[in-house]
Amino acid sequence: MLTFEHQFATLPEPLWVACQPTPVAQPSLIAFNDALAAQLGMQTRPDDATLAQWFSGNQLPSGAEPKALGYAGHQFGNFVPQLGDGRALLLGEVVDQQGIRRDVQLKGSGRTPFSRGGDGRSPLGPVLREYLVSEFMAAVGVPTTRALAAVATGERVVRQMAEPGAVLTRVASSHIRVGTFQFAAVRRDEDALKALADHVIARHYPEAANADDPYLALLEAVTARQAALVARWMSLGFIHGVMNTDNCSIAGETIDYGPCAFMEQFDPQKVYSSIDQGGRYAFNNQPGIAQWNLARFAETLLPLMREEGDAVVEQATEVLRGFTQRFSAEQRRLHANKLGLAPESDRAAPLMEALEIQMHQGRMDMTATFDALTHYAQALRKDSSAHSQKEALLALTTQPDGLAAWLADWESAQQASQQSERLEAMRQANPVVIPRNHRIQEVIDAAVEGDFAPFYTLLAAVTQPFDESEEARRLAAPATESEQVLRTFCGT
């Protein structure tokens, strides 16, 4: 049994509204994350039927007190003063085995006061996508919400067509977003804004409480986490797809896996999201958008900060300027790891820039390129099969001469970093398997027909992303021309 607490409920309404989930017709358990449940303190696993009742919302676990959370948001740059949980309910918080407070939330559990005419439900496909991608992110060490359970509802959800419905149970450090602060600020409710900021400091950034200006320190801490997070996304070719302020977590976790995707052929301006018509959230735009979102966060905090007038604006602006430096520092570290170079190497940045040009011009798959480069580095270290590994790498590009010239430069840089720990860091920075778009689509297509075996197979692979087995290699293969999925869709 989970032991629920309800600290968020001490904050004033309308930051939350009590609301009950809408029962579903025939809940059945698709997946349950036993390892995560154990971390949350669940000592004994209930049977599948009980879990299906709990995590569909039909019969809530003891101590749960569901609430829909209020927030606003800039959606594709346009401000909407009230969004909120239109299809999600916070059941409560659980203090995990490490003493960390974690939210447990149902997603797809029916209408709430924030639904704005929507049905409050989720199709099966987005639930499976979020389960797979969030658990992959956790496996490679990227801060993320987690998937605790997925339950089929036995009902149909109408989007472009009638689809099977499902409910996801999501675990997060919290569900507080930049948009949560905007929700309080747009109401000019400074008491609610201060209570929210103090809650976030106590829960996520206790060191800020002792600063000369706790709210300026909060802005700096959130900026640091967001900078590191986006750098980690980009090191994996991840495109969030909908980086609205209501999808920007104050805790610095990846949240709301809607039309997200992992880039295959490298293209700095790549967009997959069907709703991002102008490319606002393209791959290379993500750092600038994160900084823009943080500027909106800063605007909400200005009334709480110690200084006033131009002085407080300049202080906040200086913190925001620091985003670029923090992002670049984390990116340099990640680039060095991906290339098998020492963290202090001054050659990592120019080598990565040159490789990205090669990947783009040579139509190279990003994940396959770094996996092959890792194998080549390992072969050079062992002085075995290096030639065949190099040929495998050159086979990935349409411009092998350019890549061969780049490899010569990289090999000379590698020789200065030939240590076993560098190779280990390189492997851990370059997964073999990612949740490729076409594999996720295969899983969804099969599940819609009632076959969940492909989902379980892919889940096992993406949660062991450095596995070198034959099955992992099969699932790691890039999409063929006919398999490519070029558009991803939001489940709302």
26, with CB counted inside 10 A (0-12, 13-18, 19+), is exposed
Question: Is 212 a residue of the active site?
Answer: no
**CA torsion sign, 112 to 117 to 118 to 119?**
positive
With beta carbons less than 8 A apart as the criterion, state whether 110 and 121 touch. yes
Closest CA to 131 of 110, 121, 145: 145
CA–CA dist 428, 439 (Å, integer): 22
CA–CA dist 266, 153 (Å, integer): 38
Q: Which residue has the tokens 């569900």?
A: 175
CA 96 centroid distance within chain:
21
CA–CA dist 391, 386 (Å, integer): 9
CA–CA dist 38, 269 (Å, integer): 41
With beta carbons less than 8 A apart as the criterion, state whether 260 and 286 touch. no
User: How far, CA to CA in Å, does 248 sit from each of 107, 230, 320, 352, 446?
Assistant: 17, 11, 15, 28, 32
Closest CA to 272 of 437, 401, 162: 437
Number of other CB atoms surrounding residue 162 within 10 Å: 11
CA–CA dist 380, 139 (Å, integer): 28
Tokens describing residue 189: 């409710």
Tokens describing residue 2: 């989970």
Q: Which residue has the tokens 């299906």?
A: 52
CA–CA dist 198, 213 (Å, integer): 12
- DSSP state string for 283-311: GGGHHHHHHHHHHHHHHHHGGGSSS-HHH
Closest CA to 181 of 60, 304, 77: 304
CA–CA dist 4, 9 (Å, integer): 12
Closest CA to 374 of 329, 409, 422, 342: 422
Tokens describing residue 354: 């040159």
Residues β-bridged to residue 157: 163
State the catalytic residue, choosing from 85, 103, 246, 276: 246
Give the residue numbers annotated as catalytic, written as ranges: 246
